[in-house]
Structures are given as C-alpha cells and as structure tokens.
Amino acid sequence: MHGQIRLKRIYDPAEDDDGLRVLCTAFWPRGVKKSAVDRWYRELGAPRELIRPYLDGKVPWTEFRDAMWAALHSPEAQKALAEIAAEIRNGRTVTLLTSVRDLSQTHLRIVADALQERLQDRGGSLAPRSSLW
C-alpha cells in the first residue's frame, strides 16, 4: 500500500501525521528552523526566474505550470522525485512544504502530479505535460 502525498505551508504547525516533511523551495523560508523539515530539495522549488513574476501576477498560471513541469525533467529533480516516490511506495506519508500562502495554485501541485506519475510506474520518467493537463 502506498503512502499519501500532502501539501502544507511550512509556517503551519507540524503534526504527527505529516510523515516525512519535505521542503520544496529554491530559497530557505525566513524564520524557519532547519529542524522543521526532514529534507530540503531546492531542485523541486519553482524556477527562480519565475517565482517573483508569478507571485506578483505577471506570469499566468499556465505559463508557470509549463515551466515548472519542464524544470522537473532535470536530472537533479528526477533524482529527488525518485527518492520521495520510494518513500511513498514504502507506505510513508510525505508532506510537501512551501512558504507560499495560496496552496491552490502552487508549484507543489505540479510536484505532486510528478510524484503520482512516478508512482503509476510509467517507465520511471515523467510523461509529456500534455498527457496531464
């Protein structure tokens, strides 16, 4: 049985059922102690050049989503996704963390989609973006 994938803000209190707490940001969030997370994967953070324009509303969600999906094809991101997927396959709950306030359209949703792809074992790599959206 697979574990679960959860999304949460790093500033929300840790809970016992969070499981493995994984920070997916390019930058360390202000005021957060290193002990608040189990792992930090910078390579699963939103592309640095898009973070501020997206948060400021200058880049639409579709463009941001496509750039994020492309970024998840890097070897570093693929390695991180494989490590997290292995934890989930072993029945562990994984909580993906970010500092972004609105979780409804955050890069964590795209990371979670990529993890679901891996868990469905479609050849071990990500499918083209068009197959998901």
Residue 40: its pLDDT value, please? 98
Residue 128: its pLDDT value, please? 47
Residue 133: its pLDDT value, please? 39
In DSSP terms, 7 is beta-bridged to 96
Residue 125: its pLDDT value, please? 52
Q: What is the pLDDT along the chain (133 residues), one digit of tens a residue?
A: 578 999 999 999 999 999 999 999 999 999 999 999 999 999 999 988 998 899 899 999 999 999 999 999 999 999 999 999 999 999 999 999 999 988 988 999 999 999 999 998 654 555 544 444 3
State which H helix or E strand residue 97 sits in. strand 94-98
